[in-house]
Structure 1
Amino acid sequence: MALPVRNAALENDAEVSVSRRYAWIVFAVTFGLLLSDYMSRQVLNAVFPHLKAEWALSDAQLGTLSGIVSLAVGLLALPLSLLADRWGRIRSLVLMAALWSVATLGCAIAQDFQHMLIARLLVGVGEAAYGSVGLAVVLTVFPARLRATITGMFLAGSMIGSVLGISIGGLLAQQFGWRSAFTGMAVFGGLLTICYPLIVRERRIASSPQQSTTAPRPKLSDVVGSCSVIYTYLGSGVQVFVSGALLAWLPSHLNRAYHMPVAQGALVAAVFVLASATGMALCGNLSDRIGRDSPTTKFGLAIAYCLTCFLVLTIAFQLPPGLPQLVLIGLGMFVGAGTVGPSGAMVANLTPAPIHGTAFATLSLANNLLGLAPGPIVVGALADVYGLTTALQLVPLVCLASALLFARAARCCRTDLRHSEMRADLA
C-alpha cells in the first residue's frame, strides 16, 4: 500500500484558489459554530444547582446529563466524519449545527430528567463530528505552511467556547432562570446555522487543488497508512491527558490548597483555560514559522513543548500554594497545549485531503480516549489514595511518554518520506 506521506516543505500558497479574505471569513463563521458547539455543551454545568433544586436530581444524574454528550461524541465522531467526507462537508456541518441548536432548545423546554437526557443525547449526536469536519474545512482554504497555526487557532475555540458557555449561561440563569441559558445558546447556534451555508459554499472551497477529484480516491486505510501518523495520534492523545486532568481538578486544587470559594476558584480556573487556548494558537504559529522548510521539524517542536511542560509543571506542584505556583501552572498549560497545532498539521500532511475529516476524527478519538476521558478519572483515583496534591505532582510524568511517542513519529516520518521519494523515482 502506498504511504500517503507528502513533503510539507514543498507545499505553498498555490494549493488554495480562494482569496485570503474569503479564507478568513470561512474561518470566522466555522469558528463561530465551534464556539456554539462548546457553549451548548458546557452551559449545563452552569445550571447544575438550579436543576438539582427544581427536579431533586442526584449528583449521579447530573453527571449523566453531562457525560451523555461526551459518550455520544466519542462513539459517533469517526463514523459521522467519514460520512461527511463522502456526503459533503458543508451540508454535513449545517445539519450538525441545526441538530445541536434544536436539541439545546429542547433542553430549555424539558420538563423532567428523562426529557433533558434525550435532549442532551441529541446535542452530543449533533456535535460529534463538528470539530474534525470543521477543521478539515478551514484547512482546505489555507496554505499548508499555515496548518499548525490554523489548527491551533481553530481548536482553541473549544476552550473559549467552554468558558463562554459556563460564564454566559450562569449570568442568564441568574437573571432570567435556567431555561433562558439554554435558549440563549440555541438562538446563537441557530442564527449561525442559517448564515453558514449562505457564506460558505461547497463548490467554492472545493475548487482548491487540495479538493481535486481527478486524483485517485484515497482509501479509508490511508487514515492509519503510515507509522508516523499512528504515533502522531498516540503522542497527541497522551499529551492531552495533562490538559484533561488539570482542567478537571484545578478548581478543586484551588479550593483545597488555596481555600478559594467555589465561584472564585472557577474564575481562576477559567484563566488557565484561556492560557491553554492561547498556547494552542501561538505555539502552533511558532511551529509553522520554524518548521516551514522541514516536514519533521514540527515533531521536534512538539517534543520541546512536552519536555518544557514536564519541567514547568513538575516545579509548580513542588512549590507551596502561592502566586509563583499559579504562574507556573498557567505557563505549563500554555506550553502543554502547544502540541495541538503541530499534531493537527502533521496529520494533515500525512493523510490525503479528501479524508481529512476522518483523519481529524481519528485524532479527536485518540485525544478523548487517551487524554480527556482518562485524565480526570486517573487523577481522581490517585487522589483518593494519595491526596490531590500528590496526584497532581504525578501528572507531568505523562509529558515524557508523549515526547517519546512524538520522537518515534519523527523517526518514522523520515523513513516514510525516504520510501515515498524512492517510489517517486522509480515511477
Structure 2
Amino acid sequence: MAYHSLPDHGNDDPGARIPRRYAWVVFGLSFGLLLSDYMSRQVLNAVFPLLKQEWALSDARLGLLSGIVALMVGLLTFPLSLLADRFGRVKSLALMAGVWSLATLACGLAQQYPQMLVARFFVGVGEAAYGSVGIAVVLSVFPKDMRATLTGAFMAGGMFGSVLGMALGGAVAAHLGWRWAFAVMALFGLALALLYPIIVREKRISPPVRPDQPRIDAPPAARVPLRSLVNSRSVVGAYVGSGLQLFVGGTVIVWIPSYLNRYYAMATDVAGGVSAIIVLVSGIGMIACGMLSDRMCRNAPQHKFNLAIAYSLGSCALLSLAFALPHGTPQLVMIALGMVLAAGTSGPAGAMVANLTPLPIHGTAFATLTLANNLLGLAAGPLVTGLLADALGLAKAFQLVPLVSVMAAAVFYFAKRHYLTDVEHVGTHARGSATVMQAQT
C-alpha cells in the first residue's frame, strides 16, 4: 500500500485491511454501546425536576449527580484505557458496559441522595474508558481518511444517546416514575454487553500479519513511550481546546431540561422531548462538522484547526444571542442553531489527536482526550453552572457559559501554529521505530 505524501498520514493504514461489511458491524455494535453509555448518563437530566422536588435538592447537588460521572470518567479513563490497549479492547468494552448498566439499575433503587451519588459514582467508573477505547476500535477497522467523519459520527452517538436518555427517560418517568426510567436504560445496556463480545472478536479487528512481511510499521503499545501522548504543543492544544468547548455543549445538554421546566413551565416529559430535539440537532451538527472537516482538509490538514476555531466562535455568538433573547420559540430555535456548532470540534479534534499520536497507543491517546473533555468540560460545566444557578439563577448562568468557547478558540489558534511541524515529527518517529524493529528482525 502506498503512503500518502501529506504530513497528516505518518501512520500506516491498517483499517484498509478489514472487510468493509464487518467494519460496519463493529461500528454498529460499538455505536449501540455508546448510545447505552449516554442513555444511562443523561437519563438523570430528564428526572432532575422530580428528584429536586422529592428530595429537596439544591442545583449544586443536582449538578454533582451529573458531574460525578464525568469526574470519574476523567480520572479513570487514562489508566483503564491503558489496560485495555494492552489486555484486549473487546473484553474490556463488554465489562465496562456491564458495570455502568448495573450501576444505572442501582440508581433506580436508591432511596436517598447519598445512595444515588454512590450509584452515579459507579456509573462513571463503568463508563470511564468506553469512549476512548470504543473510538480506537472503530478507527482501527476503517481507512484513515475517514477519521474525522468517523470520530464525529461515533461521538455523535453520545448526543443521540442523550436524546434517547432524556426523551425516553422523561416519558417513562412521567408514566411509571423516575425509578423505571433508570431501569429501562440499564436493561438495554446489559443486553448489548452480552452481545458485543460474541460478535466482535479481537482477532478479527487485528488481522494477522503475513508470515513473509513482518508488521514493522506499528510497534506494540508497550514499546511506544507514553510521552508520545503529550510531546507536541498541537496535540496538547487539541486536548485542552476540545475540553473547553465541551464545557459549553455539555452544560447545555445537562441543564436544558431544567431550564425548560422552570422558565417555560414544561412538564417532565415535554421538557425531555424538547431537550432531546435540541441535543439531536447537536448530534447531527457533530456529524456534519466532522464530514466537512474531512472534505475541506484532505489536502490541507492544518485547516482542521481553522474549522475548530470557527465552530467555537460561531457557537459562542449563537448561544450568547440565544440566552439574551426573551423566552419563546425564537430563543429555542437559536439555542438549537448554537448547539449545531457547539460540539462540532469533536470530529476535528479527534482526527488531530489520531494524526499526532502513534497508532499502537490510539486507545490511550483518546483516553487523554476523554480526560480533558471530562475534567475541563463535562464535569466542570454542570457543576460550575449549578453553583452559578444557585447564586444568580439558571437563566443568568446560561448567559455566561458560552464565553468559555472564546477560550477554546484561543487554544486551538495556538495549536494550529505548530500542527504541521508536529505531525511531521510523528511520521518521522514512526519510520524510525520501523527501521529499528526491521533491523532487529
TM-score normalised per structure 1: 0.86
- Cα deviation code 1:189-234 (max 9, x no counterpart): 222122111211111111288x957644211111112111001111
1:16 is paired with a residue whose SS is helix
Structural mapping, 1:1-400, within 5 Å: 7-9=7-9, 15-46=15-46, 57-59=55-57, 66-108=66-108, 117-176=117-176, 178-207=178-207, 215-216=218-219, 217-255=223-261, 257-258=263-264, 260-261=266-267, 263-382=269-388, 388-400=394-406
Gap change, CA 1:402 and 1:124, over 3 Å in 2:
closer
Give the whole-Å Cα distance in 1 for the aligned partners of 2:32 and 2:168: 15
Give the whole-Å Cα distance in 2 for the aligned partners of 1:71 and 1:405: 22
CA shift for structure 1 position 358: 1.4
The residue identity in structure 1 corresponding to 2:334 is: L
Do 1:302 and 1:342's aligned partners in 2 also have CA atoms closer than 8 Å?
A: yes
The residue number in structure 2 matching 1:412 is: 418
Gap change, CA 1:178 and 1:370, over 3 Å in 2:
closer
Give the whole-Å Cα distance in 2 for the aligned partners of 1:269 and 1:104: 21
CA shift for structure 1 position 91: 1.1
Question: Once the two structures are aligned, what percentage of the paired residues are identical?
Answer: 57
2:17 is paired with a residue whose SS is coil
1:320 is paired with a residue whose SS is coil
| RMSD across aligned positions (CA) | 3.2
Give the whole-Å Cα distance in 2 for the aligned partners of 1:121 and 1:357: 23
Do 2:67 and 2:378's aligned partners in 1 also have CA atoms closer than 8 Å?
A: no
CA shift for structure 1 position 281: 0.8
The residue identity in structure 2 corresponding to 1:24 is: W
Gap change, CA 1:310 and 1:45, over 3 Å in 2:
closer
Do 1:82 and 1:357's aligned partners in 2 also have CA atoms closer than 8 Å?
A: yes
The residue identity in structure 2 corresponding to 1:222 is: S
Give the whole-Å Cα distance in 2 for the aligned partners of 1:47 and 1:330: 21
Gap change, CA 1:396 and 1:118, over 3 Å in 2:
closer
**Unaligned stretches of 5+ residues in structure 1:** 1-5
Gap change, CA 1:291 and 1:270, over 3 Å in 2:
same
Give the whole-Å Cα distance in 2 for the aligned partners of 1:186 and 1:34: 13
Give the whole-Å Cα distance in 1 for the aligned partners of 2:427 and 2:88: 32
Between stretches 353-362 and 103-112, larger displacement belongs to: 103-112
Gap change, CA 1:170 and 1:359, over 3 Å in 2:
same
The residue identity in structure 1 corresponding to 2:340 is: F
CA shift for structure 1 position 412: 1.1
CA shift for structure 1 position 151: 0.9
Do 1:8 and 1:145's aligned partners in 2 also have CA atoms closer than 8 Å?
A: no
Give the whole-Å Cα distance in 1 for the aligned partners of 2:356 and 2:193: 31
The residue identity in structure 1 corresponding to 2:41 is: R
CA shift for structure 1 position 419: 5.0
CA shift for structure 1 position 394: 3.4
Give the whole-Å Cα distance in 2 for the aligned partners of 1:395 and 1:110: 31
Gap change, CA 1:313 and 1:104, over 3 Å in 2:
closer
Do 1:103 and 1:120's aligned partners in 2 also have CA atoms closer than 8 Å?
A: yes
Give the whole-Å Cα distance in 2 for the aligned partners of 1:401 and 1:62: 26
Give the aligned length.
Answer: 419
Gap change, CA 1:422 and 1:351, over 3 Å in 2:
closer
Give the whole-Å Cα distance in 1 for the aligned partners of 2:234 and 2:240: 10
Gap change, CA 1:178 and 1:269, over 3 Å in 2:
closer
The residue identity in structure 1 corresponding to 2:294 is: D
Do 1:11 and 1:145's aligned partners in 2 also have CA atoms closer than 8 Å?
A: no
Give the whole-Å Cα distance in 1 for the aligned partners of 2:426 and 2:40: 44
Do 1:157 and 1:277's aligned partners in 2 also have CA atoms closer than 8 Å?
A: yes
TM-score normalised per structure 2: 0.83
- Cα deviation code 1:135-170 (max 9, x no counterpart): 111011111111111111111111221221233234
Gap change, CA 1:423 and 1:121, over 3 Å in 2:
closer
1:395 is paired with a residue whose SS is helix
Do 1:16 and 1:208's aligned partners in 2 also have CA atoms closer than 8 Å?
A: no
- Cα deviation code 1:226-245 (max 9, x no counterpart): 11100111111111121123
